[in-house]
């Protein structure tokens, strides 16, 4: 680290995001054995950091997808990736049309108003977003075919189709998950046959090795993983933690640390305490923990929490601090990854 920055995790103000470098590298290596190079389009919405994205770029992943126009703009400013997909519908795409000189910028389209915004905004290429079962964005094949014809008539390149089987990521039985993915991708394949193009973009961390029908997988959570995915049949392990400081020890059997709802994404439940005990509950600025042995814990100690959901946890912080050792024991900080893709 620089002379003015924190040298060890002891120097960090808490709550602070820390990344286990070895776990991160192992996760990336596991993904690359199945989805090398252009067969993976990492989703920056998961980690919101061009510094982390640059690590993936160096490993050969030159195409990225994003959820917000700001994420696309940030990637272009940082010069990371040469093929950027806004894998989400937006009426605010005029800001992206002028970026085509620096990278190929493609946007997802599922309706006439979204297509109109792309045309008016100077966007040059699109993917037709197809509904494959998740009740979110996407259109049917007939609508997609009509939109593709309109786009081509307006001079846009229709690169192909995308569809997100997000509702299948956590199906517990692997073979049942595979069968459901195949059914969802049959819908996407039918649309692709009608629409054309070279790209069939789909998938995510939970189906990265089961989706054999797409040309590229949109996965991002695998890099850092969260407890929602941990324990499933995936070759990844948690790399992200929220470091917190014990601020109170109650003789009735609990301790309190300074990381609560404002430091953690809670939509997938409570965080997991990496320690001998359990999480009781979270409040705005606090997490209450019940240790197995109260006498082992003191005010000023550091504790590590694993979030239930990576994406919204990261969006609450400004920086990820990369370490090689136990962050609760004053590990040396080996890198700093600014979270520079937050907001919209």
Mean pLDDT of 3-18: 92
Task: Catalogue all structural domains in the chain, each as residue range(s) with its CATH number.
Answer: 9-16+236-338 (2.40.37.20), 36-218 (3.20.20.10)
The length of the chain in residues reads: 344
Q: What is the DSSP string of 92-131?
A: --HHHHGGGGTSEEEEEE-SHHHHHHHHHTT--EEEEEB-
User: Who contacts 227 (Cβ-Cβ below 8 Å, separation ≥6)?
Assistant: 238, 268, 269, 271, 272, 306, 307, 308
What's residue 3's pLDDT?
Answer: 54
Longest dimension (CA), the chain: 73
pLDDT in tens, 93-135: 998 988 877 789 999 999 999 999 999 999 999 999 999 999 9
Q: For all residues of the chain together, what is the average pLDDT?
A: 96
Whether the predicted pLDDT of 2 surpasses 70: no
What's residue 97's pLDDT?
Answer: 86
- Percent of the chain at pLDDT > 90 equals 95
3-class state of residue 334 by DSSP: strand
Say how many C-beta atoms besides its own lie within 10 A of residue 210's C-beta.
22
Mean pLDDT of 5-21: 97
Whether the predicted pLDDT of 76 surpasses 80: yes
pLDDT in tens, 242-281: 999 999 999 999 999 999 999 999 999 999 999 899 999 9
**pLDDT tier, 83 (very low <50, low <70, confident <90, very high otherwise):** very high
What's residue 317's pLDDT?
Answer: 98
What tokens were used for 121?
A: 């905004």
Mean pLDDT of 190-199: 98
């Amino acid at each position: 680290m620089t002379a003015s920055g924190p040298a060890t995790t002891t120097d960090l103000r808490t709550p602070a995001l820390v990344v286990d470098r070895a776990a991160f590298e192992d996760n990336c290596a596991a993904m690359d054995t199945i989805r090398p190079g252009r067969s993976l389009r990492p989703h920056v919405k998961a980690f919101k950091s061009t510094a982390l994205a640059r690590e993936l770029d160096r490993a050969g992943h030159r195409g990225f997808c994003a959820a917000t126009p700001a994420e696309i703009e940030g990637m272009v400013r940082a010069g990371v990736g040469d093929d950027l997909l806004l894998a989400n519908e937006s009426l605010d795409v005029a800001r992206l049309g002028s970026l085509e000189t620096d990278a190929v910028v493609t946007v997802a389209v599922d309706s006439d108003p979204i297509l109109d915004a792309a045309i008016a905004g100077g966007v040059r290429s699109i993917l037709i977003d197809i509904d494959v079962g998740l009740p979110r964005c996407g259109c049917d094949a007939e609508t997609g075919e009509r939109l593709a014809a309109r786009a081509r008539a307006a001079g846009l390149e229709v690169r192909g189709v995308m569809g997100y089987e997000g509702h299948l990521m956590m199906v517990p039985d692997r073979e049942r998950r595979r069968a459901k993915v195949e059914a969802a991708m049959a819908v996407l394949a039918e649309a692709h046959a009608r629409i054309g193009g070279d790209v069939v973009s789909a998938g995510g961390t939970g189906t990265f090795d089961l989706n054999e029908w797409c040309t590229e997988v949109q996965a991002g959570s695998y890099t850092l993983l969260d407890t929602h995915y941990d324990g499933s049949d995936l070759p990844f392990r948690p790399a992200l933690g929220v470091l917190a400081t014990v601020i109170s020890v109650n003789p009735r059997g609990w301790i309190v640390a300074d990381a609560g709802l404002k430091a953690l994404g809670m939509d997938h439940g409570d965080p997991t305490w990496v320690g001998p005990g359990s999480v009781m509950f979270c409040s705005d600025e606090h997490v209450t923990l019940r240790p197995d042995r109260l006498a082992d814990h003191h005010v000023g100690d550091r504790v590590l929490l694993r979030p239930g959901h990576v994406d919204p946890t990261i969006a609450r912080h400004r920086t990820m601090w990369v370490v090689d050792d136990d962050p609760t024991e004053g590990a040396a900080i080996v890198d700093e990854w600014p979270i520079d893709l937050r907001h919209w």
